[in-house]
Amino acid sequence: MLTGSSAYLPLTLKAMASMANLMAAADPAKEATTHFLRDQFHRYYNALKPTLPDRFGRREFGFMFWTPGIVQRHLGFAKEEELKAFLSSRVPTHAYYSSAYYDNPNAPTMEEKGWLGADLIFDLDADHLPNAAKMSYPEMLEAIRLKIIHLYDDFLRSDFGFEEKAMRLVFSGGRGYHIHVFDERVWPLGSHERREIVDYITGKGLAVDSLFRESAFDKKEFQGHTRVKTMIVAPTKEDPGWRGKIMRGINSLAAKLETLTSDEAIKFLTSFEGVKEGDAANLYENLFKPRQTKPRVIRGVDRLREGQIEALSDRNRDLIIRLVKELQPVRIDERGGVSLDGIVQRGETDEPVTSDIKRLIRMPSSLHGLEIRGEVFNLAPGVNDVPQYLAIFLAARGLATVMPEA
């Protein structure tokens, strides 16, 4: 984070519709902007103590620079001082390191590197949230923050048993977060095993009906015929894996609906794809309409909390389970990370980041996103005098150019 001078700088804010024309015509401004940003990046890296990944001497590093198309990868650093010197002298625009460990990270080909293992990387991006287009930037970050906590606590710690000391949360620099799992048990996993972990977390192929079992509660014999009555038994909130998640999710959804008025609850339920207003109203009534008042008020939601899933009609039970199934899984960004093979400026491949055992990911503490000190700025296209930290952000994002000196 750059926290230097708040001195005001003349800055030309681009009109987005004509940005390409402005950039093509404003070479002096472009050069001044690059020079300004490079100086600020150098100042940052010169004072930086890099946040190093575990076993960083076994990792490959890759960098992008200020001239489009200039990329350098297949680099390894034996000491922290070497990496710091590189950042300070070369001043890259982007810094990446591999999730994999290699016998010889400096080797020019993947075959010569000698793959030793890889961390497990999860990338959650706000762009993949439902209704992301309708959210403000802070709303997206808050929503994705809740998802990352859900992934961290309810899957990686609870289900897979990874300890806190073997995981690291990292802001991705855009609209999401990474979780790096460097538990040595994941190092030898291949792409197929990592894909299975993703499938479990995202609930792919989950047969929810199998989580509920049928149990006989009454048996009668009449004229040689046996009649058995059965009931559906729900899992408990304490059950491991998806059984407990589904039941906790049902109770959590019911608790949320209980805080809403009937109209608010119906509006919330119909926000899910395919949920009709009549079905939403029927579920709300099934949950909260009193069924008896003496000796105490009993509602469907009260029986549900006691584990009596049959307190709901079949239609309502199926609906609430479907909604919970949609809410519980974590949507993992399958286009995270970056491949620097043949890259021009910046790009990415379709290979899922979690199952890719050779992917490069952004280096924590490198410059790739800046806060603006909690302030809001409304700037019109044209020349504006802005604080230095805002100038750095806008120029680095390609939204403005620094006015060249006369």
- One of 119, 123, 333, 356 is an active-site residue; which one? 123
Find the angle CA(4)-CA(93)-CA(181) to the nearest 5 degrees. 95
What pLDDT does residue 150 have?
A: 87
Listed in sequence order, the DSSP H helices in 48-98 are: 80-90
Are the CB atoms for 336 and 303 separated by under 8 Å?
no
Active-site annotation holds for 154: no
The contacts found for 293-298 with CB under 8 angstroms, 24 or more apart, are: none
Enumerate domains of the chain plus CATH numbers.
8-199+334-402 (3.90.920.10), 232-327 (no CATH)
Residues written for the chain: 406
Distance, in Å, from the CA atom of 178 to the CA atom of 146, rounded to the nearest integer, reads 13
pLDDT surpasses 60 at 101: yes
What pLDDT does residue 271 have?
A: 87
Which tokens in the block code for residue 389?
A: 């930290």
Are the CB atoms for 249 and 236 separated by under 8 Å?
no
pLDDT surpasses 70 at 7: no
What pLDDT does residue 267 have?
A: 92
What pLDDT does residue 144 have?
A: 83
Single-letter amino acid code for the residue at 172:
S
What pLDDT does residue 227 have?
A: 78
Torsion of CA 20, 21, 22, 23, to 10 degrees: 50
**pLDDT confidence tier of residue 333, bands split at 50, 70 and 90:** low
pLDDT surpasses 80 at 378: no
Mean pLDDT calculated for residue range 307-327: 83
Listed in sequence order, the DSSP H helices in 289-332 are: 300-305, 314-327
What pLDDT does residue 356 have?
A: 65
pLDDT surpasses 80 at 18: no
What pLDDT does residue 3 have?
A: 34
**How high does pLDDT run on average in the chain?**
79
What pLDDT does residue 321 have?
A: 83
Mean pLDDT calculated for residue range 248-264: 91
What pLDDT does residue 340 have?
A: 38
What pLDDT does residue 337 have?
A: 45
Are the CB atoms for 130 and 119 separated by under 8 Å?
no
- One of 209, 333, 350, 356 is an active-site residue; which one? 350
Listed in sequence order, the DSSP H helices in 298-369 are: 300-305, 314-327
- Lowest-pLDDT range, 169-178, 251-260, 292-301? 169-178
pLDDT surpasses 60 at 117: yes
3-state secondary structure of 143: helix
Distance, in Å, from the CA atom of 244 to the CA atom of 246, rounded to the nearest integer, reads 6
| pTM of this structure | 0.72
Per residue in 123-142, pLDDT (tens digit) is: 887 776 767 777 777 788 88
pLDDT surpasses 70 at 318: yes
Distance, in Å, from the CA atom of 75 to the CA atom of 102, rounded to the nearest integer, reads 11
Mean pLDDT calculated for residue range 336-343: 39
What pLDDT does residue 23 have?
A: 42
Which residue(s) pair with 167 in the sheet?
181
- Lowest-pLDDT range, 51-60, 122-131, 147-156, 242-251? 122-131
Per residue in 205-251, pLDDT (tens digit) is: 877 777 777 776 667 777 777 777 766 777 888 888 888 888 888 88
- One of 54, 119, 125, 356 is an active-site residue; which one? 125
Active-site annotation holds for 350: yes
Q: H or E element: which one contains 205?
A: none
Single-letter amino acid code for the residue at 364:
P
pLDDT surpasses 50 at 369: no
More confident residue, 209 or 100: 100
More confident residue, 129 or 38: 38
Active-site annotation holds for 239: no
